[in-house]
Amino acid sequence: MTVPVSITVNGQRYDREVEPRLLLVHFLREVVGSTGTKVGCDTSQCGACTVLMDGVSLKSCTALAVQADGAEVTTIEGLADGDALHPLQDAFWEKHGLQCGFCTPGMIMASHELLRVTPDPSDAQIRHGLEGNMCRCTGYQNIVRAVRQAAGTTAGQP
Amino acid sequence: MYAPDFAYYRADSVAEIGRLLRAHPGAKVLAGGHSLIPLLKLRLAAPPALIDIGRVAELKGIAVADGRVRIGALTTHAEIAASSDVARHAPALAAAAGVIGDPAVRNRGTIGGNVAHADPASDLPTVLLALGASFAVATDDGERTIPAGKFFQGMMATALGDHDVVTAIDVPAAPGGQGQAYEKFSHPASRYAVIGVAATVELRGETVGNVAVALGGLVPAAVRTGSVEQALSGRAPSAEAIAGAAAAVSNDLGDDLIGDIYASAEYRRAMAPVCVKRALTAALKQASVADAPAARSPWWKPSWL
């Protein structure tokens, strides 16, 4: 069985026939070809697959493509405006909020959600808001600094 | 990981959910998918068909009426955690919804899907049991109501029949003088409850009134702990009374404790009274604030805390 879906990814609409069991993350990576979104733990714990659906974060390894039918999905590739990086991307660069980079797309999308809900977060709120995203390299310090910079807040210690 | 193949149908109304369930024997209901999709991917479940109810608008939303909070089955954990109505009338539910998984999980997971899945390590069954919630269920014959105490029957086992679907959860509004708390010992990665304790405590002057305490994560289904409730009810609240009541939880744990690679059954047995004590202390503190005369400062603190 295949099901027709119409999913808009980073502003471009994709009308495709998909198997119902196709995960959204595989739709993004294999159908659309946007491989910025990663598969990490594949069990909705690590957050590497975090994207936005209609502006709200979700873990795309735990959603079916058919559930996103009619929705607008934003991935890490959709944040920059041409050559101009999104403030979160700038801040992760500036503050070196990454080492290997594998968690970074999900971390930035989860940070996007954090700032949507909490525009001026404290350090504790940043750490709490990113608890569903794991980084095995940085120890999180520079990630927190990056989010703080992106928020334009001086909360917490430098 | 790929789920086994399944057919997919989308329902637009509660009536159509029932029709599709009857037409496709063995089908499972898909709400937010945050319990079901992991099961499918691990191939612990292989239903022939999924009935996607995620777009049934009549199953969404929170309303307060007739002394209860009615929460539509498709309401997400994030919506519950952010609801001022839930915070006011069922604060332990708001607290529990806010510590499920992580923000992205809370954006997708639904209360109806959560209770229908009935994972003992989940948060909501525990708190809904303590709060005396009941579940509105659409069936072949219309509607029925199942109290939480009869709904959870074992490890991922509920009172739901093959064609039943949870449509709403009714939570009694907290009476005056009642404090509520949810205490959770989280698994550090999944945030599932290694131990979850929900408590409601009424304070009448200097005496503890009705007490309800429910446990999650410890045994195959969320359960009330009558030993703790009886040990504290009618007593004057004190640190000693709380500790004594919390210790009584060991009477109710039985021999079927959950143990896994992260926390052994022995460890959970040892930690259970600790978590119960924390939940009782927090609920009594809330009750004393609710009970405190208005003349007292908001920082008034009873001597026993």
Which residues of B, range 91-150, sit inside 8 Å of A by Cβ?
101-105, 107-108
| Residues of chain B contacting A1 with CB distance shorter than 8 Å | 5, 7-8
The pLDDT of residue A91 is above 60? yes
**CA–CA separation, B80 vs B100, rounded Å?**
11
Domains B7-52 and B178-291 share a fold: no
At a CB cut-off of 8 Å and minimum separation 6, what does A54 contact? A71, A72
CB contact under 8 A, A62 and B8: no
- Nearest Cβ partner of A63 from B6, B101, B108? B108
Q: What ipTM score was computed for the predicted complex, to two decimals?
A: 0.94
Please report, in angstroms and rounded to a whole number, the separation of the first and last CA atoms in chain B. 50
* CATH architecture of structural domain B7-52: 2-Layer Sandwich (3.30)
> In A, which residues are within 8 Å of B41 by CB distance?
42-43
Q: What is the CATH number assigned to the segment(s) B58-172? A: 3.30.465.10
Residue for token pair 């005369």: B293
CATH topology of domain B178-291: Enolase-like; domain 1 (3.30.390)
B180 neighbors B200 (Cβ within 8 angstroms):
yes
| Confidence at B190, pLDDT banded by 50, 70, 90 | confident
- Identify any residues that bridge with A123 across adjacent strands, giving them in sequence order: none
Neighbours of B16 (CB within 10 A): 15
In chain B, how many H helices and how many E strands? 12, 14
Whether the predicted pLDDT of B294 surpasses 60: no
Predicted confidence (pLDDT) per residue in B14-69, tens digit: 999 999 999 999 999 999 999 999 999 999 999 999 999 999 999 999 999 999 99
The answer to whether B5 contacts A3, with C-beta atoms less than 8 Å apart, is no
pLDDT score recorded for residue B214: 98
Instruction: Find how far residue B129's CA is from the centre of its chain.
Output: 6
Which residues sit opposite B7 in a β-bridge?
Answer: B49
CA dihedral B29, B34, B38, B43 (to 10 degrees): -10
Which tens digit of pLDDT belongs to each residue from A7-60? Answer: 999 999 999 999 999 999 999 999 999 999 999 999 999 999 999 999 999 999
Find the mean pLDDT for residues B223-249: 97
Given this model, what pLDDT does residue B189 score?
Answer: 84
- C-alpha to C-alpha distance for B106 and B114, rounded to whole angstroms: 11
The Cα–Cα gap between B244 and B246 comes to 5
Q: Shortest CB distance from B52 goes to which of A42, A58, A66?
A: A66
Cβ of residue B45 closer than 8 Å to a chain A Cβ: no
Q: Domains in chain A, ordered, with CATH?
A: 3-78 (3.10.20.30), 87-151 (1.10.150.120)
* Burial classification of residue B95, based on how many CB atoms lie within 10 Å of its CB (0-12 exposed, 13-18 middle, 19 or more buried): buried
The sign one gets for the Cα dihedral B263, B266, B267, B272 is positive
Residue B132 confidence (pLDDT) above 50: yes
Instruction: Tell me how many helices (H) and strands (E) chain A has.
Output: 5, 5
Domain locations in chain B as residue ranges = 7-52, 58-172, 178-291
